[in-house]
Structure formats: C-alpha cells, structure tokens
Structure 1
Amino acid sequence: MAFKSLLSVMGADHSDRDVRTAAGLCAEVGAYLSVLIMSPPRLVMSPPPPCDGIPEWPEQHAKAIARLEKRYRQIETFSQDMASLEKTSREIHKLLRATWRCYDVDIANCDRASVGEAVRQRALCADLTIVGPALLNDISLGPLVIDGSLFDTGRPVLVVPNGAEATLSPRRVLVGWDSRAEASRAVREALELLSGAEEVRVAVVDPEPTCTESGAEPGADIAAYLTRHGARVSVDRLASAGKPVATVLAQYAIDTSADMIVMGAYGSRRLRERLFGGVTRWIVRKPPLPLFLAR
C-alpha cells in the first residue's frame, strides 16, 4: 500500500529527533505527518473521598491535611505537564513550518491506562506509525505506544533505532517468513516497499516441508506472490543452530547488507511489553536496521 499519512508519537521531554525522522520520511514519499506529543502524568488524580476537607476534629485533621497536600502536588504536576506539552508543541510547530508544511500537531496528557487508547485513535487513521530512537528508548512510554499503534489497530509500525538510515525506499529488504498470519500481514502492508526494492530476500529459519502449512518448498509460495507484484525475490532457508530466530535474522540481514527487515509481530496481550522489550534489546544490541512490523 502507499504511505500517504504517517504518525509520529513523542514524549514532551524528548528531543525533536524523532519528528525530524518522520518529516524526512514524509518528504521522501509525499505523505502527511501527524504528530502526537504525550506526557503521561506521574500521578493519577482520583476524586476526593466524601466529606473531603470537612474532617472530624481532631482525629481526622492530620489525614485531611495529608490528602489536601497530595492533591495539591497532583494538580501542580498536571499543570507542569501541560506547560511542558504546550512548550514542546510550539517548538514542533516551528520546526515543521520550516521543513514540512503538510502536518498537524496534537497533545495528550493522560494516565498510563489511557495512553494506548489515545495512540490507537490516531493510528487508526494513519498508514504507518514511526517509532524513533527517543521513543524506542523510553521504557515508560514506548511499550504503551507500541501497544496502541500496533496491537490494537492492525496497522504497521516502522521502528527506526539509533544510527539507522530511515527510508521508505529501501534497496535491499529481508523478509522474515514463517507462513503465519502476522508475517503475511507484514508482507501485504510493506508491499509497496518490497515491489520497489532492488532485492528482496525471503528468509525461512529451520523450515520443515509439509503438505499443508509451509508447502513442499517453504517460502516458495510467498516468493511467487511477491513476484506477481513486481518484486525481485529470492528465498533463503537458514538453520538456526539453536540460536533465537531474531538473532539469526539480524545476522543474516547484516551479511546480506539489508536496509530493512520486514516481519510479523507476535505476542498475546500479556506478552506485549515483553515483546517490545525484546525487540528493543535486539535492535539496540545489533547494527542499526529499520524494522517494519505488522500484526
């Protein structure tokens, strides 16, 4: 599919690097950029208990004072967060006016439980969400953004780690294939990237020929599909030798000078943060390569 609308999510305390990356990608393909700036409160404000502020003297006086002081700190934190959001929003507007005019900027100040929903609403109306280095390394906000943009929408995410050359026109792409629905969706979502690449390698790790799932020649079916869409495809069957599949794919991407890895994202609701952490550690520890994920 063509990428005509990109979403970039950033924290109010992040640098503008992720937005610059997303703006560069928009300029590359002529897409519209939506920026969401988030600042989840460190404390969740709760409604005051009944008769708050009218204590039974003197037994409840100290408790009432403590409750009032806590709420004052919560209100002060909320005000500081909003001020930070507004300041960052002005800076991003100024940056994008000078670099890319097709954009909008929105802010969201919500508790942790609401971050995923706030991101989901925006990601549903975007073709691709960009996760840049700052967001990738934010262990409090990053997993929640992945949760809302990837798992709750079915829309793809492009992870751009530190040091990676972000592009939506890669020359060489490695596809991690295992005949599962998630891998199939990743291929379909990345079809325009794959059909425009000079070389696409479909990597199958520890393939087992069967009459049903993988076929007699694992990878041949998806290679034929991509060929019909104009992609220049080869199939590589790899042995893991007991290593994790992600490690095998990362090393093979290095060996073949790939510009991007396309693969399905797996994980139940309970495993989402674990998956994000695993992908993050994998990306950080391996040479920088953009990772195109779909669920």
Structure 2
Amino acid sequence: MRFRTVLSVISADSSDRDIQAALRVCEQNNSHLSVLLLGTEPPPPIEEFAVIAHGWVEEREAAATALRERAHAVRSILAGRDLSSDLDSRLVEQAANVAEIGRHALYADLVFIGPELSQSSLPLKSAVLKGALFEAERPVLIAANKGEATLQPKRILLAWSSHPEAARAVREGIEILAAAEAVHVTLVDPQATEWANGPEPGAEIGTYLARHGARVTVDRLPSGGNPVADVLRQHATDIDADMIMMGAYGHSRLVEWAFGGVTRSMIDKPAISLFLGR
C-alpha cells in the first residue's frame, strides 16, 4: 500500500477516540502514524494595559500546560502499540492552523480525520481539509460517524464527474480501487458529450480502472431533482458500500465554502469512510 505515512491531526482538548481510530487504520496497513497535536494559542491583546497583558500571559501559559499534559497522554498511547509513530505538538493561533497542518501534510501520504473531528463543526475540521487538500495537495480519509475507517474497503462508490479533481482522487486511491471486490463508478445526471463525459458516460474511466485490475460497474443515476449528495449517499446504502471516493471542491474554494456544494455536503458527518482527492 502506498500510504506509508498517515498524518492524524487532533486538538489538545479532544478525547482518545480519533487517535485510536488512526492507530487502527495504520495497523491495518502497516503505516507509520504521524500525529500533529494542536493547542490554541489565545490571540495577543490589542490593549496596552498591563493588567490585560498579564491576563493574556496567564491564559497562554494555561494553554501551554494543557498541551504538554495532553502530549504526554498521547505519547503513552502511542508507546503502548507496536507501531511506528511520532508526535509533534504545537501551540498556534487558530488563524495559523491551515499553514501548520499544510506544512506537516507535505511529509505524509494521507491525512486522516477521525470520527470525533469528522462529526464536529469545529474550525479545526475545516483547517485540516484546507491544509491537506489545498496547501499540501494530499488526499484525505474521513472516518464514519461510528468510528469506522478503512483503507481496505470491499465495495467502493466512486463519484465520477470527468473533472481533474475526480481523476486525482482515482490516481491517489488506485491501489484501494484495484484491491476492492467491487467498484461502482457513479455518475448523477451525466450528459453524453464528446468533450467531457464522452458519448458513453463512465465508459472511459471504467476502462482505465479495469486496466488496473479493478472490478468495475458503471451506474448512471438520475437525480430526480434531489441534491447530488443525497443521491450518492442513498446509492452507497443501496450497494452496501463501505467507502465513497470522490474529488473534492470542483468549483472554486470560495464558492464551495460560501454557498455549499457536493463536497461540503458529503463531509458533513459521513456515514461511511470518505476518501477525498484534489
């Protein structure tokens, strides 16, 4: 498996749930686990009064102490497992999270978002996605809401759109696709065109995957006026998929985050493992 190093990002005030899920994924694939533990540094005071500055120093020291204690606990968890791992703990301002995550993700093959973070609406979840997908251009695996996550799925729904983002997801996850028992290339409301989907939508990506040994079925689905994300979720249930693989943010990042989109809908509390590439 090409995912030799997996980066897991956790916050200083999180439980052990995400780190345990990351350990299971890495043990399953004999991968090295790199943990980035982030504590939130309070923003510096803008007032000039000494009493306020003193209060900020105390607040920062409390955050640093909490981070050190949490780092000690995480090291104990890692030391208790027969797995190659490392831990880096950083106290940074919230605005710097994306850059910090992106810098660490450069040296990982995959970024993992555990079940606790995946179900939250914390800014850290957004920062991990932006840091991985935009800063470092690394794929992301998001755990399901029940804590389940796998890089060895049996049945995969590949959401195909004939866009570079979807092709990047396929290239990043080609070994996963080739090893699965079934891959359902799924297109919603596809249009047969010479310049995009081709005269037979899904045929070209199906042929490409078959050359890599994947067992492919092409499913062309009507939306019936329903949101594409809902159609994909329902089809994943219908085919008993244990992973959805898709390209992330086919539109501009600003448009996606301001007005929503398929990606944003899919990452909101996923029911099964979600693999994103961009």
* TM-score, length-scaled by structure 1: 0.88
Q: CA deviation at 1:268?
A: 2.6
Q: CA deviation at 1:40?
A: 1.8
Whether contact under 8 Å (2:115, 2:148) holds in the other structure is: no
Moved over 2 A (4+): 267-286
Matched, 1:134 2:133: no
> Distance in 1 between the 2:259 and 2:122 partners?
12
Residues 196 and 121 of structure 1, relative CA distance in 2, 3 Å threshold: same
Paired positions, count = 276
Equivalent residue runs for 1:76-87 within 5 Å: 76-87=58-69
Q: What residue number does 1:54 align with?
A: none
Which amino acid counterpart does residue 217 of structure 2 have in structure 1? S
Which amino acid counterpart does residue 206 of structure 2 have in structure 1? A
Matched, 1:161 2:144: yes
Q: CA deviation at 1:271?
A: 4.2
Which amino acid counterpart does residue 268 of structure 1 have in structure 2? S
> Distance in 2 between the 1:73 and 1:100 partners?
43
Matched, 1:148 2:131: yes
Q: What residue number does 1:268 align with?
A: 252
Superposed CA deviations along residues 133-164 of structure 1, whole A, max 9, x for unmatched, are: 22221422111121111222211000113214
> Distance in 2 between the 1:276 and 1:245 partners?
12
Q: CA deviation at 1:77?
A: 1.5
Structure 2 residues without counterparts, runs of 5 or longer: none
Pick one of 68, 71, 76 that aligns with 1:94. 76
Superposed CA deviations along residues 206-265 of structure 1, whole A, max 9, x for unmatched, are: 011011111011111111110000100010000001111111101100010000000011
Residues 190 and 82 of structure 1, relative CA distance in 2, 3 Å threshold: same
> Distance in 2 between the 1:162 and 1:276 partners?
21
Structure 1 residues without counterparts, runs of 5 or longer: 49-62
Question: Match of 2:7, SS?
Answer: strand
Residues 38 and 174 of structure 1, relative CA distance in 2, 3 Å threshold: same
Pick one of 217, 223, 226 that aligns with 2:209. 226
Question: Match of 1:141, SS?
Answer: helix
Which amino acid counterpart does residue 111 of structure 2 have in structure 1? T
RMSD: 2.0
Whether contact under 8 Å (2:44, 2:56) holds in the other structure is: yes
* TM-score, length-scaled by structure 2: 0.93
> Distance in 2 between the 1:36 and 1:238 partners?
40
> Distance in 1 between the 2:72 and 2:274 partners?
30
Whether contact under 8 Å (2:3, 2:110) holds in the other structure is: yes
Pick one of 238, 243, 246 that aligns with 2:229. 246
Which amino acid counterpart does residue 64 of structure 2 have in structure 1? M
Q: Percent identity?
A: 40
Matched, 1:27 2:10: no
Matched, 1:118 2:100: yes
Q: CA deviation at 1:101?
A: 3.2
Residues 106 and 138 of structure 1, relative CA distance in 2, 3 Å threshold: farther
Residues 284 and 140 of structure 1, relative CA distance in 2, 3 Å threshold: closer
Whether contact under 8 Å (1:164, 1:289) holds in the other structure is: no
